[in-house]
Amino acid sequence: TLAETVGVIALLISAASFWDSHQERVRSEARETAPVAKPKLTLTGRAVDDGARLDLSASADGIVVQTQTIMFPKALDADAVDTTGDAHIDASWFEDGLLATVPEHDGVFTGRMPVGIITKFEVNGETITDTALYDRGYTLHPRTLRSDRVELQGLSLVSRGLGDRLEAKLEARWKAGNPG
């Protein structure tokens, strides 16, 4: 009869609706329990003020740098520097130590120097700490009657996620590039 047919159709629709609801709940639970990949921070550097300063920024959209601690090799006798909001590296922070470690040269000298950077950044409302080792490029320009002028060139990522090993990796990279 018509009533039985309508009843069977209603039962099938109800079963399909229950099945769809169950599948959506399973998918939702899987999304909630799946590990969320933390965004990886890669800094880029742009030279300003004739290379006296390197402005740092995150290479990905949506990442807001909050604070940084920038560490230099011990051989440079330069203290670590903390920045807040204005992520940058100034040549004046380490130039005396760098000039004392560079070998004798005639004319322009180009090199790399490792730096350790601990960055606290925010993405999607979550604060994350990144510990990374970078190489910073520089050029020394000779000047008459004064020491060379340090011009900062840029920044390239060496390794990230170093945690407590950052200082040891920084020193090892410095020694590998400056065996003297």
Is residue 71 within a helix (H) or strand (E), and if so which, with residue range?
strand 64-71
| Position 172 pLDDT exceeds 80 | yes
Mean pLDDT (the chain) is: 88
133, 166 contact by CB (below 8 A)? yes
Q: Rounded to whole angstroms, how far apart are CA atoms 11 and 33?
A: 33
pLDDT on residue 49: 93
pLDDT digits (tens, 9 = 90+) for 54-88: 999 888 888 889 999 999 999 999 999 999 888 99
| 3-class DSSP state of 159 | strand
| Position 156 pLDDT exceeds 90 | yes
Q: Rounded to whole angstroms, how far apart are CA atoms 126 and 64?
A: 10
Query: Which tops the pLDDT comparison, 28 or 118?
Result: 118
Residue 29 region by backbone torsions, left for phi larger than 0, else alpha for psi between -120 and 50, else beta: alpha
Considering the entire predicted model, what is its pTM? 0.76
pLDDT on residue 155: 92
